[in-house]
Amino acid sequence: MFSTADLIPLRPFLGSVREAETAKLILFGCPFDGTCSYRPGARFGPAAVREVSDALETYCPVLKADLEEVPFFDAGDLNMPPGDVRGSLDMAYRMAAAVYSNRQIPAAIGGEHLISLPLVRAALESEPDLVIVHFDAHFDLRNQYLGVELSHATVLRRIVDLFKPSRILHVGQRSGVREEFTETELQANFYPATTEPDWISKWIGDRPVYVTVDLDVLDPSIFPGTGTPEPGGVSFTTLQNWIAGLATCRWVGWDVVELSPTYDPTGVSSIVAAKIVRTMVLASLSGCR
Ligand code: MN
Ligand code: MN
């Protein structure tokens, strides 16, 4: 069982079981925004998602599934030290590795996107054949951002350092430097938001998949609560259907990142994020029902 020494206990996400031992999936928060390039605040994401989760129903009519049918445990937030990028990433890695050693699925709420790097590293050690689906307005494939190699703007580049770009599918990107759009050594699979939704699950096939959702893939009109809003994004319904379409796949881990709740005084962005987390829990555990 993972160590609870590093965790801050909080009111759990809607539908969490009471005992970690009985769960198939361990949800945890990564309240880290140390490298945000424009507006910080993603560290407040996990607490906001939990707080508003009570406003949701446990039942999802799109997946015809209920949170009460799937055993997941919300372990709280990792107590990430502000200002310590490597220490924070290492904490996320150790948490995910401990969850894998217990034959459970780790699932993280960010936090900024850089937290995906240690989570993917742990996932690769558990499932060397995995593929990644990356929902985002941005590719995050820069080699450096302002001279820094570890940044939320470089996270997919650091992941490409770990394995082949052909094993990553980028979905929804609409902003970046020219090379991110054109260099196939960096990104071999790019899926603009306009084509058929079941193409994603067909691309995955029977390979194990890690899914990373940068919520700025959504249009800022429905999701303004994020650090780098990018006009021209997809609707909530489109993103929910993309994720629900992966319910038949074999998930090995996932994260939902880049909610910065304080930029949205209406609070709707937090509810959007919580509903995406609900969809992710249900889709990733659909084999358990
Ligand atoms: Mn982004
Ligand atoms: Mn990103």
CATH code, 74: 3.40.800.10
Ligand 2 mean position to 68 CA, how many Å? 31
Ligand 2 mean position to 137 CA, how many Å? 7
**Which ligand lies nearest to the CA atom of residue 226 in the structure?**
1
Q: Is beta strand 65-66 parallel, antiparallel or unpaired with respect to 72-78? A: unpaired
Q: Among residues 262, 289, 282, 283, which one has the least CA distance to residue 51?
A: 262
**Which ligand lies nearest to the CA atom of residue 113 in the structure?**
2
Ligand 2 mean position to 24 CA, how many Å? 27
**Which ligand lies nearest to the CA atom of residue 151 in the structure?**
2
Phi, psi (degrees; rounded to nearest 5) at 241 = -70, -35
Beta strands in the chain (DSSP E): 7-8, 25-30, 59-60, 65-66, 72-78, 105-110, 131-135, 168-171, 189-191, 209-214, 251-257
Ligand 1 mean position to 143 CA, how many Å? 16
pLDDT attached to residue 191: 82
Identify the three-state secondary structure at position 157.
helix
Ligand 1 mean position to 98 CA, how many Å? 28
For 5, 67, 82, 125, 173, the CA distances from 213, given in Å and listed in that order, are 28, 20, 23, 21, 12
Residues of the chain scoring pLDDT < 50: none
How many other C-beta atoms lie within 10 A of the C-beta of residue 144?
12
Q: Cβ(289)–Cβ(72) under 8 Å?
A: no
User: What is the end-to-end Cα distance of the chain in Å, rounded?
Assistant: 23
Structure tokens given for 194: 């306009």
Instruction: Write out pLDDT tens, residues 75-132.
Output: 999 999 988 999 999 999 999 999 999 999 999 999 999 999 999 999 999 999 999 9
Ligand 1 mean position to 134 CA, how many Å? 10
Q: Is beta strand 189-191 parallel, antiparallel or unpaired with respect to 168-171? A: parallel
Ligand 1 mean position to 216 CA, how many Å? 5
Q: Cβ(196)–Cβ(210) under 8 Å?
A: no
For 112, 150, 153, the CA distances from 37, given in Å and listed in that order, are 10, 11, 7
Report the domain count for the chain.
1
Q: Among residues 191, 189, 289, 194, which one has the least CA distance to residue 248?
A: 289
Ligand 2 mean position to 232 CA, how many Å? 16
Structure tokens given for 143: 């080699």
pLDDT attached to residue 1: 58
pTM listed for this prediction:
0.95
pLDDT attached to residue 188: 85
Ligand 2 mean position to 188 CA, how many Å? 17
pLDDT attached to residue 5: 64
Q: Cβ(253)–Cβ(30) under 8 Å?
A: no
Ligand 2 mean position to 118 CA, how many Å? 15
Write out the residue range of the structural domain in which residue 147 sits: 4-288
Ligand 2 mean position to 152 CA, how many Å? 6
Residue 58 CB contacts under 8 Å (≥ 6 apart), including other chains: 14, 15, 66, 67, 68
Ligand 2 mean position to 228 CA, how many Å? 9
Ligand 1 mean position to 252 CA, how many Å? 22
What residue has token string 């021209």? 232
Structure tokens given for 224: 């303004």
Ligand 1 mean position to 215 CA, how many Å? 7
Ligand 1 mean position to 116 CA, how many Å? 12
Single-letter code of the amino acid located at 31: P
Q: Among residues 183, 257, 240, which one has the least CA distance to residue 62?
A: 240
pLDDT attached to residue 9: 55
**Which ligand lies nearest to the CA atom of residue 137 in the structure?**
1
Ligand 2 mean position to 19 CA, how many Å? 32
Ligand 1 mean position to 9 CA, how many Å? 28
Q: What angle do CA 198, 179, 185 make, to 5 degrees?
A: 65
